Amino acid sequence: MSSPDIILSARKLTKRFSGFTAVNGVDLDVERGTIHALIGPNGAGKTTCFNLLTKFLQPSAGNISFNGRDITGLAPAAIARLGVVRSFQISAVFPRMSVLENVRIALQRRRGDSFDFWRNQKVLNAYDEEARERVEEVGLTEFIGETAGELSYGRKRALEIATTLALEPEMLLLDEPMAGMAQEDVSRISALIRRIAAKRTILMVEHNLSVVADLSDKITVLARGEVLAEGPYEAVSKDPRVIEAYIGAGHG
Amino acid sequence: MSVTANTPSVSAAATMPIGTPRHHIAIFAGLLVLLLIAPFVLYPVFIMKILCFALFASALNLLLGFGGLLSFGHAAFFGSASYVTAHAAKVWGLTPEVAILLGTIAAAFLGLIIGALAIRRQGIYFAMVTLAFAQMVFFFALQAPFTGGEDGIQAVPRGSLFGMISLANDTTLYFVVLAIVFGGLLAIYRIIHSPFGQVLKAIRDNEPRSISLGYKVNRYKLAVFVMSATLAGLAGSTKALVFQLASLTDVYWTMSGEVVLMTLLGGMGTIFGPLVGAAVIVTMQNYFASFGAWVTVLQGTIFVVSVMLFREGIIGVLSRWIRKPL
Ligand SMILES: Nc1ncnc2c1ncn2[C@@H]1O[C@H](COP(=O)(O)OP(=O)(O)OP(=O)(O)O)[C@@H](O)[C@H]1O
Ligand SMILES: [Mg+2]
């Protein structure tokens, strides 16, 4: 057997907030082309891990590498440019822009930087067609001209995914993509995530365990900032330490 | 089938369709016609004052309404440009267009320095940093030998445009000022509706998200800060020629506050709001000048009322009413 092809890995990743250690010596290896879930009780440090991996937070210790390259010292925008794009736990749309514009702002990244303040924005029309397709993919076509801030919570999440996908990142980090979605949207987005995972790698935080069981190839369980267990869903869900961590934190 | 036109969704300056909306062209054209007639009906210096402040407020609005950055120190750019232009015209005897150009460049340069230091801070801290630097510029203006201290630089010659057309006549000057201000406003309009402007709005709406899409937000913020400072400088330079005066009032913090007031009153983040805000405030100052200190009280009251009751400003409310971005 050949050794697994690791796209993103973290070693001894640690984050301390004035004395409190939110993430403590986490080792993480995400294999290329898989859906990897990061789960754990509230406050386990999942979002903090995402913030560290994408450099929205500076690690107190440890390092991160992407495609074999050390990215610990990079700025968050630089990591996005390498092809690691994250979403946020609280919905992150551009509220005063339309649905179409939200997606287009991601497509616009293909021009490189947009410092051309003298040019008419009509040049961006070139991306409209593709933006429409992306919007359709997440089932928002009938809201395409609407202001993103006025969408329902679930639709905002869908729009966020469309925006993230528009960048065609090599790797996606999704922080609770299904939170607050109606069941029919959960199914749609699940199917979409599975479809995009064919060509990409996904690291996902999700509380909906049936979604996790359904989608993920591998699961890492985090509790109190440390890795508690790792493996496929069947194994992890039977692990007594995992069950205890969840019960201890008040999850059924 | 669903009809999106029926859904009451349009918030103020939100769903900007791509391309220049026809009603914007119509408003700009109508405005230009009015302004071409205005000097024959109203006192030209009065309208020139409104024009200068309309440009100043629009420059601030570019930063505040579209970049999401509240500067409380824009008097620094307005005022220093005013001083440089006055000095260049009076002491160096340069022609008005060169004097204005120098003043504007000075403001741009100052904007680069202050902007680079301020954009690393967020929200109210950003505002405080800009205010602090503006105060430094004020004390510099108070102490420096060439600014004339409390007297300012008075009796600045308006000179002759390109050394040929004398601007001593108010009406002649008016058309030059109109060309400058209108050009400035169109430039701002274009900036807002450019690929750059689109990124700017994204950063204003959600900065972390913009970063996560790979935008180097600090560079965009610095760029818009410099543009805003430059245009504020253009307004200040022009004002110096109109009133033939550069004084401490131009760099004082109340000037920074006044331009914020104009922008909020008219409607920040709208295209035409700052123009309306400037017209209202300048008119008020003019007609109520005899009330002395009460003008300040009145201004303060308007400020409080507009912030508490209609946050979207005059044009913001109007825009929501007619459901079109203005
Ligand atoms: N900026 C911060 N400053 C101080 N403490 C923080 C900060 N961010 C997170 N924490 C703390 O770190 C711990 C981990 O938080 P984190 O948001 O990573 O948890 P999570 O696993 O994402 O939880 P949830 O499931 O609720 O989203 C929490 O106790 C939180 O209070
Ligand atoms: Mg979280």
Closest CA to A226 of A211, A207, A241, A208: A241
Quickly list H helices, A10-98.
46-53, 76-82
CA distance B292 to B234: 29
Same domain, residue pair A112 and A130: yes
Helix and strand counts by DSSP (H, E) for chain A: 9, 10
Q: Is A247 on the interface with B (CB under 8 A)?
A: no
Same domain, residue pair A173 and A124: no
Nearby residues for ligand 2 (ion, Cβ within 5 Å): A 46-47, 89
Q: pLDDT of B282-319, one tens digit each?
A: 998 888 877 777 877 887 887 788 777 778 899 998 99
Q: Whose CA is nearest to atom 28 of ligand 1?
A: A43
Q: Above 50 in pLDDT, residue B2?
A: no
**Looking at the domain assignment, is residue A242 inside a domain?**
yes
> Helix crossing, B253-266 with B123-143: angle to 10°?
140
Structural domain of A140: 93-168
Yes or no, beta carbons of A97 and B14 under 8 Å apart? yes
**Looking at the domain assignment, is residue A252 inside a domain?**
yes
Yes or no, beta carbons of B212 and A54 under 8 Å apart? yes
Place of tokens 């601030």: B60
Q: For A197-207, what is the mean pLDDT?
A: 91
Q: Is B10 on the interface with A (CB under 8 A)?
A: yes
- The fraction of chain B above a pLDDT of 90, given in percent, is 74
Q: Whose CA is nearest to atom 17 of ligand 1?
A: A47
Same domain, residue pair A5 and A76: yes
Same domain, residue pair A78 and A186: yes
Total domains, chain B: 1
Closest CA to A153 of A179, A135, A134: A179
**Looking at the domain assignment, is residue B70 inside a domain?**
yes
Q: Is A129 on the interface with B (CB under 8 A)?
A: no
Same domain, residue pair A186 and A245: yes
Q: Is the CB of A89 under 6 A from ligand 1?
A: yes
Q: Whose CA is nearest to atom 25 of ligand 1?
A: A42
Q: Is the CB of A245 under 6 A from ligand 1?
A: no
**Looking at the domain assignment, is residue A88 inside a domain?**
no
**Looking at the domain assignment, is residue B2 inside a domain?**
no
Coil, helix or strand at residue B320:
helix
Same domain, residue pair A24 and A103: no
Yes or no, beta carbons of A87 and B212 under 8 Å apart? yes
Q: Is the CB of A40 under 6 A from ligand 1?
A: yes
Of the candidates A80, A122, A147, the beta carbon closest to that of B14 is on: A147
Band (pLDDT 50/70/90 cuts) for residue A246 is confident
ipTM, two decimals, is: 0.88
Find how far residue B288's CA is from the centre of its chain: 23
Same domain, residue pair A8 and A76: yes
Q: Above 90 in pLDDT, residue B1?
A: no
pTM given for the model: 0.89
Q: pLDDT of B186-238, one tens digit each?
A: 999 999 999 999 999 999 999 999 999 999 999 999 999 999 999 999 999 99
User: Separation of B120 CA from ligand 1 center, angstroms?
Assistant: 24
Q: What is the pLDDT of residue B259?
A: 95
Same domain, residue pair A64 and A97: no
